[in-house]
Structure 1
């Protein structure tokens, strides 16, 4: 088990969330792969996208079928939002792109949760690697991340 997956497991347990992490040999790197591996709709995949507001990481957890509108993210946070390159994402989160979990980050992030996830249950989020995901609900995701529910869809 990788250190990053264990970091996610510990973050879930500390927050009182059951350990629902599962390994999917087929991979969960993309939304389509994750949905096929898990056996759910693409909408039920809670994808984690990292942006940056200066040196601060911004995590947007969105429904797998939605594209993110950076202007809406910036407006919701009252900050200018920029793309984050993969090396910076890994440096500040401790996760490689394709396995960024919504919890267990190395540095605190500003967190927005796509309002469209609130209508779905269950949802599946990355668990620290491109082959691991965990099952949760949108309400639990909001609780364990401290994220703010917002309209982030393009």
Structure 2
């Protein structure tokens, strides 16, 4: 299972005890916020896109949306999300548990600037009922190698 791969990775990093597992689903931003007990914007959702022959994983705040023009300027292509059937084989994590940790070869991780406004965020850990509490700096450390980008817009923008 993907969560076991992520838990092993976090144990190797010395933070395995910080993985949260819930009795309820955390597969959507709203469900994850309810399970964690935080505002939806603090959920660090991982969106997956085809970029050439690779997969771009964009981790963004729960209230952020992809800005198509910024995405195209950053990646040189239109934003085309992976289908639900493609997620697990290409990323190593199924829909609802996609995260930037312990991913398959061929995946590039990008952290969107929308996350920097928070002191802590909650990305998934490879299953539809998991999360981990991280600062943006920790997210950058454990999602490494990764790059910060600005490809999202917030509500009202």
- Calculate the TM-score normalised by the size of structure 1: 0.89
Q: What residue in structure 1 maps to residue 150 of structure 2?
A: 151
Q: CA deviation at 1:113?
A: 0.7
The equivalences for 1:5-20 within 5 A come to 5-14=3-12, 16=13, 18-19=15-16, 20=18
Q: CA deviation at 1:39?
A: 0.4
Q: What residue in structure 1 maps to residue 110 of structure 2?
A: 112
Separation of aligned partners in 2, 1:144 and 1:75: 26
1:48-107 deviations in whole A, cap 9, x for unaligned?
Answer: 110011320100000001111243233223455422111111111121111101111122
Separation of aligned partners in 1, 2:34 and 2:75: 33
1:2-27 deviations in whole A, cap 9, x for unaligned?
Answer: x211111122233x251211111121
Separation of aligned partners in 2, 1:17 and 1:42: 27
When the two chains are superposed, the root-mean-square deviation of aligned CA atoms in Å is 1.6
Asked whether the 8 Å contact 2:33–2:43 carries over to 1, the reply is yes
The equivalences for 1:39-50 within 5 A come to 39-50=37-48
Spell out structure 1 runs of 4+ moving beyond 3 A.
Answer: 77-81
Return closer, same or farther for 1:7/1:70 CA change in 2, 3 Å cut-off.
Answer: farther
Return closer, same or farther for 1:9/1:108 CA change in 2, 3 Å cut-off.
Answer: farther
The unaligned stretches of length 5 or more in structure 1 are none
Q: What residue in structure 2 maps to residue 140 of structure 1?
A: 138
**Equivalent residues, number:** 151
Q: What residue in structure 2 maps to residue 21 of structure 1?
A: 19
